[in-house]
Structure 1
Protein backbone atom coordinates (compact mmCIF):
# COMPACT_ATOMS: atom_id res chain seq x y z
CA UNK A 1 0.00 0.00 0.00
CA UNK A 2 1.46 3.37 -1.10
CA UNK A 3 1.99 5.99 1.60
CA UNK A 4 0.05 9.23 1.70
CA UNK A 5 1.36 11.92 -0.67
CA UNK A 6 3.37 14.76 0.79
CA UNK A 7 1.54 17.23 -1.48
CA UNK A 8 -1.64 16.40 -3.38
CA UNK A 9 -3.20 18.94 -5.75
CA UNK A 10 -6.69 18.07 -6.96
CA UNK A 11 -8.79 19.73 -9.70
CA UNK A 12 -7.09 23.12 -9.37
CA UNK A 13 -8.54 25.99 -11.40
CA UNK A 14 -6.93 29.45 -11.49
CA UNK A 15 -7.85 32.52 -13.54
CA UNK A 16 -6.55 36.07 -13.88
CA UNK A 17 -8.63 39.18 -14.46
CA UNK A 18 -7.46 41.73 -17.02
CA UNK A 19 -9.05 45.03 -17.97
CA UNK A 20 -10.49 43.58 -21.17
CA UNK A 21 -11.01 39.89 -20.33
CA UNK A 22 -10.00 36.93 -18.14
CA UNK A 23 -7.18 34.45 -18.60
CA UNK A 24 -7.87 30.83 -17.65
CA UNK A 25 -4.35 29.85 -16.58
CA UNK A 26 -4.93 26.51 -14.80
CA UNK A 27 -7.85 24.28 -15.79
CA UNK A 28 -8.33 21.23 -13.60
CA UNK A 29 -4.80 20.14 -12.67
CA UNK A 30 -4.38 17.12 -10.36
CA UNK A 31 -1.19 15.39 -9.28
CA UNK A 32 0.68 14.21 -6.17
CA UNK A 33 4.26 14.07 -4.98
CA UNK A 34 5.41 11.65 -2.29
CA UNK A 35 8.19 11.80 0.27
CA UNK A 36 11.72 11.65 -1.16
CA UNK A 37 10.46 11.98 -4.73
CA UNK A 38 11.39 14.44 -7.49
CA UNK A 39 8.84 15.68 -10.01
CA UNK A 40 9.49 17.72 -13.15
CA UNK A 41 6.74 19.90 -14.64
CA UNK A 42 7.59 20.76 -18.25
CA UNK A 43 5.96 22.97 -20.87
CA UNK A 44 6.21 26.20 -22.83
CA UNK A 45 5.93 29.61 -21.19
CA UNK A 46 2.28 30.26 -20.34
CA UNK A 47 1.38 26.58 -19.96
CA UNK A 48 0.44 27.05 -16.29
CA UNK A 49 3.45 25.37 -14.66
CA UNK A 50 4.51 28.09 -12.24
CA UNK A 51 0.97 29.32 -11.57
CA UNK A 52 -0.06 25.81 -10.46
CA UNK A 53 2.66 25.64 -7.80
CA UNK A 54 2.71 29.27 -6.71
CA UNK A 55 -1.06 29.49 -6.31
CA UNK A 56 -1.08 26.33 -4.19
CA UNK A 57 1.27 27.96 -1.65
CA UNK A 58 -0.45 31.34 -1.63
CA UNK A 59 1.91 33.24 -3.95
CA UNK A 60 -0.66 34.46 -6.47
CA UNK A 61 -0.73 37.92 -8.03
CA UNK A 62 -3.49 40.27 -6.91
CA UNK A 63 -5.46 39.83 -10.12
CA UNK A 64 -5.38 36.04 -9.76
CA UNK A 65 -8.12 33.91 -8.24
CA UNK A 66 -8.37 30.22 -7.37
CA UNK A 67 -11.89 29.22 -8.42
CA UNK A 68 -11.81 25.60 -7.26
CA UNK A 69 -9.58 22.77 -6.12
CA UNK A 70 -7.57 21.59 -3.11
CA UNK A 71 -3.87 21.45 -2.25
CA UNK A 72 -3.34 19.06 0.66
CA UNK A 73 0.04 19.22 2.38
CA UNK A 74 0.59 17.00 5.42
CA UNK A 75 -3.17 16.77 6.01
CA UNK A 76 -3.86 20.52 5.59
CA UNK A 77 -5.59 22.12 2.62
CA UNK A 78 -3.24 25.01 1.82
CA UNK A 79 -5.99 26.80 -0.10
CA UNK A 80 -8.09 27.15 3.04
CA UNK A 81 -5.37 28.50 5.32
CA UNK A 82 -5.11 32.13 6.40
CA UNK A 83 -2.12 34.14 5.12
CA UNK A 84 -0.34 33.92 8.48
CA UNK A 85 -0.76 30.12 8.57
CA UNK A 86 0.66 29.86 5.03
CA UNK A 87 3.63 32.01 6.01
CA UNK A 88 4.39 29.54 8.81
CA UNK A 89 4.53 26.68 6.27
CA UNK A 90 6.39 28.53 3.50
CA UNK A 91 10.07 28.69 4.28
CA UNK A 92 9.82 26.11 7.04
CA UNK A 93 8.09 23.03 5.59
CA UNK A 94 8.10 24.18 1.95
CA UNK A 95 11.14 25.93 0.50
CA UNK A 96 11.01 27.89 -2.76
CA UNK A 97 13.78 28.70 -5.24
CA UNK A 98 12.60 31.46 -7.59
CA UNK A 99 13.56 32.05 -11.22
CA UNK A 100 15.71 35.18 -10.91
CA UNK A 101 17.88 35.39 -7.79
CA UNK A 102 18.91 38.98 -8.52
CA UNK A 103 15.33 40.22 -8.16
CA UNK A 104 14.46 37.75 -5.36
CA UNK A 105 17.38 38.66 -3.09
CA UNK A 106 17.38 41.91 -1.10
CA UNK A 107 20.10 44.07 -2.73
CA UNK A 108 20.82 46.10 0.43
CA UNK A 109 20.98 43.18 2.86
CA UNK A 110 24.05 40.99 3.44
CA UNK A 111 23.53 37.47 2.10
CA UNK A 112 24.34 35.87 5.46
CA UNK A 113 21.62 37.89 7.16
CA UNK A 114 19.14 36.87 4.42
CA UNK A 115 19.83 33.19 5.08
CA UNK A 116 19.62 33.68 8.85
CA UNK A 117 16.35 35.61 8.53
CA UNK A 118 14.44 32.51 7.43
CA UNK A 119 15.58 30.56 10.49
CA UNK A 120 14.92 33.39 12.93
CA UNK A 121 11.50 34.19 11.45
CA UNK A 122 10.34 30.58 11.78
CA UNK A 123 12.05 30.16 15.18
CA UNK A 124 14.01 27.27 13.72
CA UNK A 125 17.12 28.33 15.64
CA UNK A 126 18.49 31.02 17.92
CA UNK A 127 20.82 33.68 16.52
CA UNK A 128 24.04 31.81 17.33
CA UNK A 129 22.74 28.50 15.94
CA UNK A 130 21.38 30.31 12.86
CA UNK A 131 24.79 31.88 12.21
CA UNK A 132 26.55 28.52 12.48
CA UNK A 133 24.02 26.85 10.19
CA UNK A 134 24.37 29.69 7.65
CA UNK A 135 28.13 29.12 7.51
CA UNK A 136 27.46 25.39 7.09
CA UNK A 137 24.95 26.02 4.28
CA UNK A 138 27.32 28.34 2.43
CA UNK A 139 29.96 25.62 2.67
CA UNK A 140 27.49 23.00 1.37
CA UNK A 141 26.61 25.30 -1.53
CA UNK A 142 30.25 25.33 -2.56
CA UNK A 143 30.80 29.01 -1.74
CA UNK A 144 34.47 29.48 -0.75
CA UNK A 145 35.49 31.24 2.47
CA UNK A 146 31.90 31.29 3.85
CA UNK A 147 32.69 33.39 6.95
CA UNK A 148 34.05 36.17 4.77
CA UNK A 149 31.34 35.86 2.09
CA UNK A 150 28.65 36.00 4.80
CA UNK A 151 29.12 39.79 4.82
CA UNK A 152 28.84 40.29 1.05
CA UNK A 153 25.87 41.72 -0.85
CA UNK A 154 24.10 39.97 -3.77
CA UNK A 155 25.76 42.14 -6.45
CA UNK A 156 29.16 40.84 -5.33
CA UNK A 157 28.31 37.32 -6.53
CA UNK A 158 27.99 35.76 -9.98
CA UNK A 159 24.62 34.52 -11.26
CA UNK A 160 25.45 30.92 -10.36
CA UNK A 161 26.58 31.89 -6.86
CA UNK A 162 23.41 33.96 -6.31
CA UNK A 163 21.36 30.93 -7.27
CA UNK A 164 23.27 28.87 -4.70
CA UNK A 165 22.42 31.49 -2.07
CA UNK A 166 18.73 31.25 -3.03
CA UNK A 167 18.93 27.48 -2.55
CA UNK A 168 20.60 28.00 0.84
CA UNK A 169 17.73 30.28 1.92
CA UNK A 170 15.17 27.72 0.72
CA UNK A 171 16.91 24.93 2.64
CA UNK A 172 17.65 26.92 5.82
CA UNK A 173 14.83 25.34 7.86
CA UNK A 174 15.25 21.87 6.32
CA UNK A 175 11.93 21.78 4.43
CA UNK A 176 10.27 18.52 3.46
CA UNK A 177 9.40 19.90 0.02
CA UNK A 178 11.46 22.15 -2.26
CA UNK A 179 9.81 23.96 -5.17
CA UNK A 180 12.41 25.01 -7.75
CA UNK A 181 10.90 27.38 -10.33
CA UNK A 182 13.19 27.47 -13.39
CA UNK A 183 16.26 27.25 -11.09
CA UNK A 184 18.80 27.36 -13.93
CA UNK A 185 17.27 30.06 -16.16
CA UNK A 186 19.83 32.54 -17.56
CA UNK A 187 22.77 30.40 -16.37
CA UNK A 188 25.29 28.94 -18.81
CA UNK A 189 25.32 25.19 -19.38
CA UNK A 190 28.28 24.47 -17.11
CA UNK A 191 26.75 26.36 -14.18
CA UNK A 192 23.37 24.70 -14.88
CA UNK A 193 24.97 21.28 -14.44
CA UNK A 194 26.67 22.41 -11.24
CA UNK A 195 23.37 23.65 -9.78
CA UNK A 196 21.61 20.42 -10.80
CA UNK A 197 24.33 18.28 -9.25
CA UNK A 198 24.12 20.36 -6.09
CA UNK A 199 20.34 19.96 -5.87
CA UNK A 200 20.60 16.22 -6.49
CA UNK A 201 23.21 15.83 -3.78
CA UNK A 202 21.21 17.93 -1.30
CA UNK A 203 18.03 15.98 -2.07
CA UNK A 204 19.73 12.69 -1.25
CA UNK A 205 21.47 14.10 1.80
CA UNK A 206 18.37 15.69 3.36
CA UNK A 207 15.76 13.22 2.05
CA UNK A 208 13.45 15.93 0.78
CA UNK A 209 11.04 15.98 -2.16
CA UNK A 210 11.55 18.36 -5.07
CA UNK A 211 9.16 19.79 -7.65
CA UNK A 212 11.08 21.36 -10.51
CA UNK A 213 9.31 23.70 -12.91
CA UNK A 214 11.16 23.99 -16.22
CA UNK A 215 10.87 24.29 -19.99
CA UNK A 216 14.00 22.16 -20.40
CA UNK A 217 13.31 18.46 -21.10
CA UNK A 218 16.95 17.50 -20.61
CA UNK A 219 17.07 19.10 -17.19
CA UNK A 220 13.84 17.40 -16.09
CA UNK A 221 14.70 13.92 -17.36
CA UNK A 222 18.20 14.04 -15.84
CA UNK A 223 16.99 15.15 -12.42
CA UNK A 224 13.42 13.94 -11.82
CA UNK A 225 11.77 10.60 -11.03
CA UNK A 226 8.52 11.59 -12.70
CA UNK A 227 7.58 13.96 -15.54
CA UNK A 228 4.41 16.02 -16.08
CA UNK A 229 3.88 17.83 -19.40
CA UNK A 230 1.49 20.80 -19.28
CA UNK A 231 -0.18 22.84 -22.00
CA UNK A 232 -3.03 25.33 -21.84
CA UNK A 233 -3.33 24.99 -18.08
CA UNK A 234 -3.88 21.23 -18.25
CA UNK A 235 -1.78 18.09 -17.84
CA UNK A 236 -1.21 16.50 -21.23
CA UNK A 237 0.96 13.59 -20.11
CA UNK A 238 2.33 12.17 -16.86
CA UNK A 239 4.78 9.28 -16.50
CA UNK A 240 7.83 8.03 -14.66
CA UNK A 241 10.98 9.38 -16.29
CA UNK A 242 12.04 5.98 -17.68
CA UNK A 243 8.60 5.44 -19.16
CA UNK A 244 8.51 8.95 -20.58
CA UNK A 245 11.91 8.66 -22.25
CA UNK A 246 10.90 5.34 -23.87
CA UNK A 247 7.29 6.08 -24.80
CA UNK A 248 6.31 9.76 -24.69
CA UNK A 249 3.01 9.57 -26.57
CA UNK A 250 1.10 12.85 -26.45
CA UNK A 251 1.55 14.80 -29.72
CA UNK A 252 2.66 17.83 -27.68
CA UNK A 253 5.31 15.83 -25.77
CA UNK A 254 6.59 14.37 -29.03
CA UNK A 255 6.62 17.83 -30.61
CA UNK A 256 8.65 19.25 -27.73
CA UNK A 257 11.19 16.42 -27.91
CA UNK A 258 11.60 16.85 -31.68
CA UNK A 259 12.15 20.60 -31.37
CA UNK A 260 15.25 20.41 -29.15
CA UNK A 261 18.89 19.66 -29.95
CA UNK A 262 20.27 16.56 -28.25
CA UNK A 263 23.90 15.62 -27.73
CA UNK A 264 25.02 12.94 -30.17
CA UNK A 265 22.33 13.68 -32.77
CA UNK A 266 24.48 15.57 -35.26
CA UNK A 267 22.59 16.28 -38.45
CA UNK A 268 19.22 15.42 -36.92
CA UNK A 269 16.44 17.65 -38.25
CA UNK A 270 14.80 19.92 -35.68
CA UNK A 271 11.04 20.00 -36.26
CA UNK A 272 9.16 22.90 -34.71
CA UNK A 273 5.58 22.66 -33.46
CA UNK A 274 3.34 24.56 -35.92
CA UNK A 275 1.74 27.88 -34.89
CA UNK A 276 2.18 29.23 -31.36
CA UNK A 277 0.46 28.86 -28.01
CA UNK A 278 -2.52 31.15 -27.44
CA UNK A 279 -3.65 32.78 -24.22
CA UNK A 280 -6.85 31.09 -23.05
CA UNK A 281 -9.50 33.77 -22.52
CA UNK A 282 -12.26 31.21 -21.94
CA UNK A 283 -12.51 27.72 -20.49
CA UNK A 284 -11.26 25.20 -23.09
CA UNK A 285 -14.15 23.52 -24.90
CA UNK A 286 -11.89 20.81 -26.29
CA UNK A 287 -8.22 19.87 -26.22
CA UNK A 288 -6.20 23.08 -25.79
CA UNK A 289 -3.51 21.69 -28.11
CA UNK A 290 -5.95 20.85 -30.93
CA UNK A 291 -5.14 23.85 -33.16
CA UNK A 292 -1.47 22.84 -33.31
CA UNK A 293 -1.91 19.06 -33.45
CA UNK A 294 -1.43 17.01 -36.63
CA UNK A 295 -3.65 14.21 -35.26
CA UNK A 296 -6.67 16.41 -34.46
CA UNK A 297 -10.21 15.49 -35.48
CA UNK A 298 -13.51 17.27 -34.96
CA UNK A 299 -13.85 15.54 -31.58
CA UNK A 300 -10.68 17.24 -30.34
CA UNK A 301 -12.23 20.69 -30.80
CA UNK A 302 -15.42 19.90 -28.89
CA UNK A 303 -14.52 17.34 -26.19
CA UNK A 304 -11.90 17.86 -23.49
CA UNK A 305 -9.76 14.71 -23.24
CA UNK A 306 -9.57 13.30 -19.72
CA UNK A 307 -6.26 12.24 -18.21
CA UNK A 308 -6.45 8.45 -18.46
CA UNK A 309 -4.22 5.47 -17.74
CA UNK A 310 -2.10 4.51 -20.74
CA UNK A 311 0.10 1.69 -19.54
CA UNK A 312 2.03 1.19 -16.31
CA UNK A 313 3.08 4.45 -14.63
CA UNK A 314 1.77 6.41 -17.60
CA UNK A 315 -1.24 8.71 -18.03
CA UNK A 316 -2.22 10.76 -21.04
CA UNK A 317 -4.93 13.24 -22.05
CA UNK A 318 -5.43 12.55 -25.75
CA UNK A 319 -8.38 11.12 -27.68
CA UNK A 320 -6.02 9.52 -30.21
CA UNK A 321 -3.21 8.24 -27.99
CA UNK A 322 -3.41 4.71 -29.43
CA UNK A 323 -3.08 6.03 -32.97
CA UNK A 324 -0.19 8.32 -32.02
CA UNK A 325 1.58 5.43 -30.27
CA UNK A 326 1.22 3.20 -33.35
CA UNK A 327 2.90 5.85 -35.53
CA UNK A 328 5.63 6.41 -32.98
CA UNK A 329 6.70 2.73 -32.98
Structure 2
Protein backbone atom coordinates (compact mmCIF):
# COMPACT_ATOMS: atom_id res chain seq x y z
CA UNK A 1 0.00 0.00 0.00
CA UNK A 2 2.89 2.30 0.83
CA UNK A 3 4.49 1.63 -2.55
CA UNK A 4 1.20 2.49 -4.36
CA UNK A 5 0.89 5.76 -2.46
CA UNK A 6 4.45 6.70 -3.34
CA UNK A 7 3.78 5.82 -7.00
CA UNK A 8 0.68 8.03 -7.16
CA UNK A 9 2.49 10.84 -5.34
CA UNK A 10 5.39 10.75 -7.82
CA UNK A 11 2.93 10.59 -10.73
CA UNK A 12 1.13 13.62 -9.32
CA UNK A 13 4.41 15.52 -9.00
CA UNK A 14 5.16 14.69 -12.65
CA UNK A 15 1.71 15.38 -14.15
CA UNK A 16 0.96 18.69 -12.41
CA UNK A 17 4.00 20.57 -13.81
CA UNK A 18 3.32 19.14 -17.28
CA UNK A 19 -0.33 20.25 -17.06
CA UNK A 20 0.70 23.73 -15.95
CA UNK A 21 3.19 23.95 -18.80
CA UNK A 22 0.47 22.84 -21.25
CA UNK A 23 -1.93 25.51 -19.94
CA UNK A 24 0.81 28.12 -20.13
CA UNK A 25 1.55 27.02 -23.70
CA UNK A 26 -2.12 27.23 -24.72
CA UNK A 27 -2.41 30.67 -23.11
CA UNK A 28 0.75 31.89 -24.88
CA UNK A 29 -0.47 30.50 -28.22
CA UNK A 30 -3.85 32.24 -27.90
CA UNK A 31 -2.27 35.62 -27.15
CA UNK A 32 0.48 35.14 -29.75
CA UNK A 33 -2.18 34.44 -32.40
CA UNK A 34 -4.27 37.40 -31.31
CA UNK A 35 -1.30 39.78 -31.22
CA UNK A 36 -0.10 38.78 -34.70
CA UNK A 37 -3.50 38.62 -36.36
CA UNK A 38 -5.54 41.04 -34.24
CA UNK A 39 -6.09 43.48 -37.10
CA UNK A 40 -7.89 40.93 -39.28
CA UNK A 41 -9.64 39.43 -36.23
CA UNK A 42 -11.02 42.87 -35.30
CA UNK A 43 -12.13 43.56 -38.87
CA UNK A 44 -14.02 40.24 -39.02
CA UNK A 45 -15.48 40.90 -35.55
CA UNK A 46 -16.71 44.35 -36.56
CA UNK A 47 -18.35 42.96 -39.69
CA UNK A 48 -20.10 40.03 -37.99
CA UNK A 49 -21.20 41.45 -34.62
CA UNK A 50 -23.54 44.17 -36.03
CA UNK A 51 -25.37 41.44 -37.96
CA UNK A 52 -25.94 39.50 -34.73
CA UNK A 53 -26.55 42.37 -32.30
CA UNK A 54 -28.66 45.10 -33.88
CA UNK A 55 -28.11 48.52 -32.37
CA UNK A 56 -28.50 52.08 -33.54
CA UNK A 57 -25.04 53.63 -33.82
CA UNK A 58 -24.49 57.36 -33.57
CA UNK A 59 -23.34 59.14 -36.70
CA UNK A 60 -19.74 60.37 -36.71
CA UNK A 61 -20.77 64.04 -36.14
CA UNK A 62 -22.97 62.98 -33.20
CA UNK A 63 -20.26 60.80 -31.71
CA UNK A 64 -17.22 63.02 -32.19
CA UNK A 65 -18.14 66.54 -33.36
CA UNK A 66 -18.98 68.38 -36.58
CA UNK A 67 -15.54 68.97 -38.10
CA UNK A 68 -12.79 66.63 -39.30
CA UNK A 69 -9.27 67.92 -39.98
CA UNK A 70 -7.12 65.99 -42.46
CA UNK A 71 -3.46 66.75 -43.11
CA UNK A 72 -1.90 65.81 -46.45
CA UNK A 73 -5.41 65.87 -47.88
CA UNK A 74 -4.97 66.59 -51.60
CA UNK A 75 -3.59 63.20 -52.65
CA UNK A 76 -3.71 59.54 -51.78
CA UNK A 77 -5.08 58.23 -48.49
CA UNK A 78 -5.58 61.71 -47.00
CA UNK A 79 -7.72 62.87 -49.90
CA UNK A 80 -9.83 59.71 -49.73
CA UNK A 81 -10.28 60.10 -45.96
CA UNK A 82 -11.69 63.57 -46.67
CA UNK A 83 -14.25 62.15 -49.11
CA UNK A 84 -15.14 59.17 -46.91
CA UNK A 85 -15.69 61.37 -43.84
CA UNK A 86 -17.69 63.90 -45.88
CA UNK A 87 -19.87 61.04 -47.11
CA UNK A 88 -20.60 60.29 -43.45
CA UNK A 89 -21.70 63.87 -42.75
CA UNK A 90 -18.50 65.45 -41.42
CA UNK A 91 -17.52 69.00 -42.34
CA UNK A 92 -13.95 68.94 -43.61
CA UNK A 93 -10.83 71.05 -43.01
CA UNK A 94 -8.21 70.27 -45.64
CA UNK A 95 -4.57 71.02 -44.81
CA UNK A 96 -1.91 70.59 -47.44
CA UNK A 97 0.86 72.47 -49.20
CA UNK A 98 -0.62 73.48 -52.58
CA UNK A 99 -3.53 75.95 -52.51
CA UNK A 100 -4.76 75.15 -56.05
CA UNK A 101 -5.13 71.46 -55.13
CA UNK A 102 -6.87 72.36 -51.86
CA UNK A 103 -9.43 74.48 -53.71
CA UNK A 104 -10.05 71.70 -56.23
CA UNK A 105 -10.62 69.04 -53.56
CA UNK A 106 -12.80 71.37 -51.44
CA UNK A 107 -15.02 72.20 -54.41
CA UNK A 108 -15.34 68.54 -55.35
CA UNK A 109 -16.37 67.58 -51.80
CA UNK A 110 -18.98 70.36 -51.53
CA UNK A 111 -20.44 69.55 -54.94
CA UNK A 112 -20.73 65.86 -54.00
CA UNK A 113 -21.88 65.99 -50.37
CA UNK A 114 -23.99 68.38 -48.26
CA UNK A 115 -21.15 69.46 -46.00
CA UNK A 116 -18.97 72.51 -45.44
CA UNK A 117 -15.26 72.70 -46.19
CA UNK A 118 -12.37 74.92 -45.22
CA UNK A 119 -8.76 74.71 -46.30
CA UNK A 120 -5.39 75.79 -44.93
CA UNK A 121 -2.31 75.94 -47.14
CA UNK A 122 0.68 74.89 -45.00
CA UNK A 123 4.01 73.21 -45.69
CA UNK A 124 4.69 70.87 -42.77
CA UNK A 125 8.27 70.51 -43.96
CA UNK A 126 8.91 74.10 -42.85
CA UNK A 127 8.92 73.21 -39.16
CA UNK A 128 7.67 75.15 -36.14
CA UNK A 129 6.64 78.40 -37.82
CA UNK A 130 3.45 77.12 -39.48
CA UNK A 131 1.55 75.93 -36.42
CA UNK A 132 0.42 79.21 -34.90
CA UNK A 133 -1.50 80.14 -38.06
CA UNK A 134 -3.11 76.69 -38.22
CA UNK A 135 -4.13 76.98 -34.56
CA UNK A 136 -5.77 80.36 -35.12
CA UNK A 137 -7.77 79.07 -38.08
CA UNK A 138 -9.00 75.98 -36.20
CA UNK A 139 -9.80 77.50 -32.80
CA UNK A 140 -13.48 78.35 -33.47
CA UNK A 141 -14.36 74.94 -34.95
CA UNK A 142 -15.87 71.95 -33.16
CA UNK A 143 -13.13 69.49 -34.15
CA UNK A 144 -14.15 65.90 -33.55
CA UNK A 145 -11.72 64.04 -35.82
CA UNK A 146 -8.07 64.70 -36.67
CA UNK A 147 -6.46 62.52 -39.34
CA UNK A 148 -2.69 62.89 -39.20
CA UNK A 149 -1.99 61.60 -42.68
CA UNK A 150 0.70 63.94 -44.02
CA UNK A 151 3.96 62.11 -44.57
CA UNK A 152 7.19 62.25 -46.51
CA UNK A 153 9.02 59.24 -47.90
CA UNK A 154 12.34 58.76 -49.66
CA UNK A 155 12.15 59.43 -53.39
CA UNK A 156 13.43 55.86 -53.71
CA UNK A 157 15.19 53.44 -51.32
CA UNK A 158 18.82 54.43 -50.78
CA UNK A 159 21.74 54.52 -48.34
CA UNK A 160 21.49 57.16 -45.63
CA UNK A 161 24.59 59.05 -46.79
CA UNK A 162 23.13 59.36 -50.32
CA UNK A 163 19.84 60.90 -49.17
CA UNK A 164 19.87 64.73 -49.45
CA UNK A 165 20.10 66.48 -46.08
CA UNK A 166 17.10 68.71 -46.89
CA UNK A 167 14.97 65.63 -47.56
CA UNK A 168 15.97 64.09 -44.23
CA UNK A 169 14.89 67.26 -42.39
CA UNK A 170 11.59 67.20 -44.29
CA UNK A 171 10.98 63.60 -43.21
CA UNK A 172 11.69 64.47 -39.57
CA UNK A 173 9.63 67.69 -39.59
CA UNK A 174 6.69 66.10 -41.39
CA UNK A 175 6.55 62.54 -40.07
CA UNK A 176 7.49 63.33 -36.47
CA UNK A 177 6.77 67.04 -36.03
CA UNK A 178 3.35 67.25 -37.70
CA UNK A 179 1.73 64.33 -35.88
CA UNK A 180 3.06 65.59 -32.55
CA UNK A 181 2.10 69.24 -32.86
CA UNK A 182 -1.26 68.72 -34.61
CA UNK A 183 -2.31 66.24 -31.91
CA UNK A 184 -1.20 68.61 -29.16
CA UNK A 185 -3.22 71.38 -30.83
CA UNK A 186 -6.61 69.62 -30.81
CA UNK A 187 -6.35 67.69 -27.54
CA UNK A 188 -7.38 70.51 -25.13
CA UNK A 189 -10.72 71.05 -26.89
CA UNK A 190 -11.36 67.30 -27.13
CA UNK A 191 -10.67 66.94 -23.42
CA UNK A 192 -13.15 69.70 -22.58
CA UNK A 193 -15.80 68.15 -24.87
CA UNK A 194 -14.95 64.63 -23.63
CA UNK A 195 -15.13 63.30 -27.17
CA UNK A 196 -13.01 63.09 -30.28
CA UNK A 197 -10.64 60.80 -32.13
CA UNK A 198 -7.13 61.27 -33.52
CA UNK A 199 -6.24 58.96 -36.40
CA UNK A 200 -2.53 58.53 -37.14
CA UNK A 201 -1.58 56.96 -40.47
CA UNK A 202 1.58 54.92 -40.12
CA UNK A 203 3.24 52.35 -42.41
CA UNK A 204 4.18 48.67 -42.45
CA UNK A 205 7.79 49.82 -42.26
CA UNK A 206 7.21 50.43 -38.54
CA UNK A 207 7.22 46.67 -37.91
CA UNK A 208 10.99 46.21 -38.17
CA UNK A 209 14.16 48.17 -38.93
CA UNK A 210 13.99 48.89 -42.67
CA UNK A 211 17.39 49.40 -44.33
CA UNK A 212 17.52 51.81 -47.30
CA UNK A 213 14.46 53.57 -45.83
CA UNK A 214 16.14 54.01 -42.47
CA UNK A 215 14.88 57.44 -41.41
CA UNK A 216 11.38 57.00 -42.86
CA UNK A 217 10.89 53.66 -41.09
CA UNK A 218 12.30 55.05 -37.83
CA UNK A 219 9.84 57.97 -38.02
CA UNK A 220 6.97 55.50 -38.33
CA UNK A 221 8.23 53.59 -35.29
CA UNK A 222 8.07 56.89 -33.40
CA UNK A 223 4.52 57.38 -34.68
CA UNK A 224 3.48 53.91 -33.50
CA UNK A 225 4.80 54.36 -29.96
CA UNK A 226 3.50 57.93 -29.80
CA UNK A 227 0.01 56.82 -30.85
CA UNK A 228 -0.34 53.86 -28.50
CA UNK A 229 1.00 55.85 -25.54
CA UNK A 230 -1.26 58.81 -26.30
CA UNK A 231 -4.29 56.53 -26.57
CA UNK A 232 -3.67 55.34 -23.02
CA UNK A 233 -2.92 58.88 -21.84
CA UNK A 234 -6.28 60.19 -23.11
CA UNK A 235 -8.37 57.18 -22.09
CA UNK A 236 -9.84 58.88 -18.99
CA UNK A 237 -10.80 61.91 -21.11
CA UNK A 238 -12.92 59.72 -23.43
CA UNK A 239 -10.71 60.74 -26.37
CA UNK A 240 -9.62 57.98 -28.75
CA UNK A 241 -6.35 57.68 -30.66
CA UNK A 242 -6.19 55.16 -33.50
CA UNK A 243 -3.08 53.74 -35.17
CA UNK A 244 -3.61 52.78 -38.83
CA UNK A 245 -0.76 50.75 -40.35
CA UNK A 246 -1.21 50.16 -44.08
CA UNK A 247 1.08 47.92 -46.08
CA UNK A 248 1.56 48.80 -49.77
CA UNK A 249 -1.25 50.89 -51.33
CA UNK A 250 -1.36 52.36 -54.83
CA UNK A 251 -0.41 55.96 -54.01
CA UNK A 252 2.12 58.32 -55.54
CA UNK A 253 4.34 57.79 -52.48
CA UNK A 254 5.23 54.45 -54.08
CA UNK A 255 5.95 55.82 -57.55
CA UNK A 256 9.52 54.55 -57.27
CA UNK A 257 8.20 51.01 -57.97
CA UNK A 258 6.22 50.18 -61.10
CA UNK A 259 5.39 46.74 -59.66
CA UNK A 260 3.75 48.29 -56.56
CA UNK A 261 1.82 50.78 -58.69
CA UNK A 262 0.39 47.92 -60.76
CA UNK A 263 -1.54 46.86 -57.67
CA UNK A 264 -3.19 43.49 -57.07
CA UNK A 265 -4.89 41.53 -54.30
CA UNK A 266 -2.17 42.44 -51.78
CA UNK A 267 -1.87 46.05 -53.00
CA UNK A 268 -5.31 47.71 -53.12
CA UNK A 269 -6.10 50.98 -54.84
CA UNK A 270 -6.46 53.96 -52.53
CA UNK A 271 -10.29 54.08 -52.70
CA UNK A 272 -10.65 50.43 -51.68
CA UNK A 273 -8.12 50.73 -48.88
CA UNK A 274 -9.44 53.96 -47.40
CA UNK A 275 -13.08 52.84 -47.44
CA UNK A 276 -12.05 49.81 -45.38
CA UNK A 277 -9.85 51.87 -43.05
CA UNK A 278 -12.62 54.41 -42.29
CA UNK A 279 -14.91 51.48 -41.44
CA UNK A 280 -12.60 50.71 -38.48
CA UNK A 281 -12.95 54.26 -37.08
CA UNK A 282 -14.02 54.05 -33.45
CA UNK A 283 -14.01 50.25 -33.57
CA UNK A 284 -10.33 49.51 -32.89
CA UNK A 285 -7.37 51.44 -31.52
CA UNK A 286 -4.84 49.65 -33.71
CA UNK A 287 -5.47 48.29 -37.21
CA UNK A 288 -3.94 47.73 -40.62
CA UNK A 289 -7.21 49.09 -41.99
CA UNK A 290 -7.71 46.36 -44.57
CA UNK A 291 -8.32 42.63 -44.15
CA UNK A 292 -5.60 41.55 -46.58
CA UNK A 293 -3.06 43.83 -44.94
CA UNK A 294 -4.03 42.29 -41.61
CA UNK A 295 -3.12 38.85 -42.94
CA UNK A 296 0.16 40.15 -44.40
CA UNK A 297 1.05 41.80 -41.12
CA UNK A 298 0.29 38.63 -39.15
CA UNK A 299 2.28 36.33 -41.45
CA UNK A 300 5.20 38.77 -41.47
CA UNK A 301 5.34 38.74 -37.67
CA UNK A 302 5.82 34.98 -37.69
CA UNK A 303 9.44 35.74 -38.60
CA UNK A 304 11.96 37.01 -36.03
CA UNK A 305 12.78 40.71 -36.32
CA UNK A 306 16.29 40.13 -37.68
CA UNK A 307 14.90 37.98 -40.53
CA UNK A 308 12.26 40.61 -41.32
CA UNK A 309 15.04 43.19 -41.44
CA UNK A 310 17.00 41.07 -43.93
CA UNK A 311 13.87 40.61 -46.07
CA UNK A 312 13.18 44.37 -46.01
CA UNK A 313 16.79 45.07 -47.01
CA UNK A 314 16.64 42.69 -49.97
CA UNK A 315 13.26 44.01 -51.10
CA UNK A 316 14.47 47.61 -50.99
CA UNK A 317 17.62 46.70 -52.91
CA UNK A 318 15.38 45.34 -55.67
CA UNK A 319 13.23 48.49 -55.57
CA UNK A 320 16.35 50.66 -55.83
CA UNK A 321 17.74 48.66 -58.76
CA UNK A 322 14.36 48.79 -60.51
CA UNK A 323 14.14 52.54 -59.95
CA UNK A 324 17.55 53.14 -61.49
CA UNK A 325 16.68 50.92 -64.45
CA UNK A 326 13.39 52.76 -64.97
CA UNK A 327 14.48 56.36 -64.48
CA UNK A 328 18.19 56.44 -65.30
CA UNK A 329 18.98 56.87 -69.00
What's the TM-score, normalizing by structure 1? 0.34
- Give the structure with higher Rg (CA): 2
Tell me which of the two structures has the higher relative contact order, counting C-alpha pairs closer than 8 angstroms and 6 or more residues apart. 1
Question: Higher strand share goes to which structure?
Answer: 1
